[in-house]
Structure 1
């Protein structure tokens, strides 16, 4: 199987890749789409003409991913499985490419062990079951590192490495934290010529990413909900990178046991620098969430595999099986509906079951309107009564608050969706207050006749009191 100019031993790469496919594809349509996935679905369905103006306002950092998803949805549909399939592909790439990278740096056993550790990683599996780009960039991060190793060791061109780095940054800017790690790897070679060639290719790759960063920086308020990291956050990050809390101590022992200098020069900076840089920066301006450093899981797997390689097969295989058994409860847990921030399938089912043609729909927070994109068929026939320009911007535009009374005048029944998570920086506080005043607090005009809960909020049915006007 010719890949990157070499013949790859099939079991070393294919076994981890196939295992990753089996694990991540299992129960792919189990958990409901949640809020962020609803954004992916909505953006992938948009005409190109309306997609770019939205990216000029918000979510520019995800623009290339939305374009890729738009093409994928056009080919395979927009169901839960289709929306999440690219993330599965990313996890498969991460496992297979880690195995090949480990093989080149430490031999077939290191590659096999490292690929298998990525395949059974609960963190990798969790984000492989989500319609976002975090496993895709993880797979590309491993591929970029593999291309770097090939260029350094075999004096190959850095061209494809540069292309991959550019793709990484354009898919998610935080993945460029891999670049300082690669710089350390190159510096440890102590070859000025290689350093200059790497710097030239990397500078060219970072140019389009700099343009994206300039566009995205004014939009940084969209992550204003992120809190500064504390000791609990750091502990959870270490556990997730290792696989599970129960495997963490053994993982540390195995990492210390490994003595492969070439592997350490590549994987150690990759393991340490991206999380450290993001955590330290987040003490001043919080940006850290674990999914932004998911691409470091393969690096930890490589270091752990180097330690496993020091053991006999009779010891290494049981340790690997132990890691898999310890991860099993986490894999089962992440497939439960309770593991997502909200359950938009239940919300859609409530609306679809309880509504009738001609009913109206109101969202307490305007930016909650995006949840309709998860299961749009459930909202067919409902009047989004306060929407002025529903297709403009990410969440549409509402009518001015002073026109709400006019919009509601002919409504007899309306469903009021109260999303429990208030936006970090709502632009519609006056509108929110107007909705409270006109509907929820207006007992003289509206009677609440139904209430349903879903994870993430509640739905209230209001009916206008007689006499009707």
Structure 2
């Protein structure tokens, strides 16, 4: 039994509202798109997309835990726009903007024009969707592809023909080629099609061949990536904290833990919101077509499948992986809201959109809620001195976030014979957060290093650089030692530094004009 199809004629007022919502989504995603520096995960995208197309595929295989489609699109934007933060985030921002009309299409088809606009409005100002639309990763594109899956599913369930199944198959392939977690949405919608459209099961079986072939094609890549252990760090975060983030970030965004409200209270609010929607939805699901009940079961199936996959595969449960079910969730919520009295629904949606837009505005205006900005550090350090320097990130191992801004940066000891003449110790200022969900400040203690000496280098000076302190140490007589006779190896100096400073990343940046170091680095590559 198919769902009842809503009126298909689009009114002028509805189009005007949709254009306005798309304009809002475009503005909040593209304004300030390059204002934040790359964070840890984005530096992998920066590295992967820095060569040829074949370099993209090899980089995804060796450095990533996701399929290659998003990186190919970022590679295209990098060829056209350069390697800036704006250039690498262009396609994610575009995908985030296009998700707005995509969820409108699915919501309108399933529940009517009002539900479509509600889904579009919530998506346009969602801090969760906005954050990942400004990140050079695959999450925003995955949400868009799953919104296309939902739209095609909605058309099929409301009387669509073979073309809707073709669209569903194509969108499913795109979703799987973007994010492995999208398999939950593909399986849930496929199951719903089989159950609720069983009379045309042969057509559905043929359409299901497309995502099946995609899964087989990606199997070898996924197996290779799983062997790298790139997501093993997730299990180190307390499970309760991660579960609470799933329930809170969906409505309040990724920085909710930094607003002064306890994380578990935010999660409780999320549970309460879901409970209200379920109660209202059950009352309205007594209608003959039972639209909400069927879409609700599809959403529940997607959530359950995704959670099972994340937990059974080494405990990889993390809020951002649930972005693939955002289209289903927001359309279901919009369908529930559309069943109440128009004035009540309008007030509820206005309050929700106002709260979410306010959260986005506050994050935009508050640097402490944003990604750590490494550009002031690179600017303060300047060019590397003769014979290079050490850069120590005190009690902070995620040095890759600095690599786009300091050319040639490598772990110290990677090459023998490195001969630094200075040490620059980078420390997060006291008062900064010790832990944030994206790991950009995890492990930093905000304590300044010693002002006496570090290893073989006496203290020189301390300066501020944004949210960081840079403490400089200079060799007192660096040129009396000949490199060929007494090389200062990475093992010797790194051991001395880690003894003095504690855990952290000890890095080396060569002097660009030093032919000896340049030859060593090329030989190492």
Normalised to the residue count of structure 2, the TM-score between the two structures is: 0.70
Q: Which residue of 1 aligns with 2:460?
A: 449
Distance 1:102 1:444 in 2: 63
Q: Assess, with a 3 A threshold, how the Cα gap between structure 1 residues 208 and 128 changes in structure 2: closer, same or farther.
A: same
Any conservation in 1 of the 2:188–2:298 contact (CA below 8 Å)?
Answer: yes
Q: Which runs of 5+ in 1 are unaligned?
A: 1-5, 389-397, 422-439
In the TM superposition, what whole-angstrom CA distance separates every residue of 1:130-150 from its partner, at most 9, and x where no partner exists?
A: 111211111110111111232
Distance 1:304 1:201 in 2: 28
Distance 1:50 1:292 in 2: 26
Instruction: Measure how far apart 1:56 and its partner are.
Output: 3.3
**Following superposition of structure 1 onto structure 2, how do residues 236-275 of structure 1 map, counting pairs within 5 Å?**
236-243=245-252, 245=266, 249-250=272-273, 252-258=275-281, 259=284, 261=289, 263-264=291-292, 267-275=295-303
2:418 equivalent to 1:407: yes
Q: Which residue of 1 aligns with 2:477?
A: 466
Instruction: Measure how far apart 1:203 and its partner are.
Output: 3.0
Q: Which residue of 1 aligns with 2:80?
A: 75
Q: Which residue of 2 aligns with 1:185?
A: 192
Distance 1:93 1:460 in 2: 45
Q: Which residue of 2 aligns with 1:276?
A: 304
Q: Which residue of 1 aligns with 2:162?
A: 156
Q: Assess, with a 3 A threshold, how the Cα gap between structure 1 residues 310 and 444 changes in structure 2: closer, same or farther.
A: closer
Count of matched residue positions in the alignment of Structure 1 and Structure 2: 422
Q: Which protein has greater RCO, CA pairs closer than 8 Å, 6+ apart?
A: 1
Any conservation in 1 of the 2:377–2:465 contact (CA below 8 Å)?
Answer: yes
Q: Which residue of 1 aligns with 2:182?
A: 175
Instruction: Measure how far apart 1:44 and its partner are.
Output: 2.0
Q: Assess, with a 3 A threshold, how the Cα gap between structure 1 residues 75 and 114 changes in structure 2: closer, same or farther.
A: same
Q: Assess, with a 3 A threshold, how the Cα gap between structure 1 residues 450 and 64 changes in structure 2: closer, same or farther.
A: farther
Distance 2:325 2:72 in 1: 25
Q: Which residue of 2 aligns with 1:212?
A: 218
Q: Assess, with a 3 A threshold, how the Cα gap between structure 1 residues 18 and 417 changes in structure 2: closer, same or farther.
A: same
Q: Which residue of 2 aligns with 1:324?
A: 353
In the TM superposition, what whole-angstrom CA distance separates every residue of 1:215-236 from its partner, at most 9, and x where no partner exists?
A: 2334330111102773443333
Which moved further from structure 2: 259-268 or 144-153?
259-268
Q: Which residue of 1 aligns with 2:112?
A: 107
Q: Assess, with a 3 A threshold, how the Cα gap between structure 1 residues 132 and 361 changes in structure 2: closer, same or farther.
A: farther
Q: Assess, with a 3 A threshold, how the Cα gap between structure 1 residues 197 and 327 changes in structure 2: closer, same or farther.
A: same
Q: Which residue of 2 aligns with 1:90?
A: 95
Q: Which residue of 2 aligns with 1:146?
A: 151
Instruction: Measure how far apart 1:73 and its partner are.
Output: 1.3
The RMSD of aligned alpha carbons is 3.4
2:56 equivalent to 1:51: yes
Work out which of the residue numbers 345, 359, 369 in structure 2 matches 1:339: 369
Q: 1 or 2, which has the higher helix percentage? A: 1
Any conservation in 2 of the 1:61–1:212 contact (CA below 8 Å)?
Answer: no
2:319 equivalent to 1:290: yes
SS in 1 for 2:38: coil
